[in-house]
C-alpha cells in the first residue's frame, strides 16, 4: 500500500503515456476551437493589412481570455459533479 497513493495501484508506464496523449489531444482540440472561434469573431475574412490592427488584437485577447475563463468554470463544474457521483477523475486543462 502506497502512502501517497492512498492504497490505489500506481498506473503503469503505458497508462501514463496514454493519459498524457489524451491530455495532449484535448489541449490541441481546445486550441483549435479557440483559434477558430476567435478568428471568426475578431478577424475579417477580407484581409486589408498584413498585420492585425489594434481593434483586432484587443478583440483576440479578450476572446481568448473569455474562452479560457469559461473552459475553467466548466471544468471545475464537471469535476465537482464527478466527485459528487463518486468518481475522482479530472477533466482537461486545469481541471
Map 2-37 to HEC letters. CCCCCCCCCCCHHHHHHHHHHHHHHHHHHHHHHHHH
- Give the mean pLDDT per block of 10 residues along the chain (95 residues): 60 87 93 95 88 95 95 92 73 51
Which three cell numbers, joined as nine digits, stand for 68? 479560457
**Residue whose C-alpha cell is 484587443:** 58
Residue 63, pLDDT score? 97
Q: According to the model, what pLDDT value does residue 39 have?
A: 94
Predicted local distance difference test score (pLDDT) of residue 1: 46
Residue pair 94/72 in contact by the 8 Å Cβ criterion: yes
Instruction: Find out whether 64 and 36 touch, Cβ atoms under 8 Å.
Output: no
Amino acid at each position: 500500500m502506497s502512502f501517497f497513493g492512498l492504497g490505489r495501484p500506481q498506473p503503469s508506464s503505458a497508462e501514463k503515456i496514454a493519459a498524457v496523449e489524451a491530455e495532449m489531444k484535448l489541449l490541441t482540440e481546445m486550441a483549435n476551437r479557440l483559434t477558430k472561434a476567435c478568428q471568426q469573431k475578431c478577424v475579417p475574412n477580407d484581409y486589408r493589412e498584413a498585420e492585425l490592427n489594434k481593434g483586432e488584437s484587443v478583440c483576440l485577447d479578450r476572446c481568448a481570455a473569455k474562452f479560457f475563463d469559461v473552459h475553467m468554470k466548466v471544468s471545475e463544474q464537471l469535476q465537482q459533479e464527478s466527485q459528487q457521483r463518486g468518481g475522482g477523475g479530472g477533466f482537461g486543462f486545469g481541471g
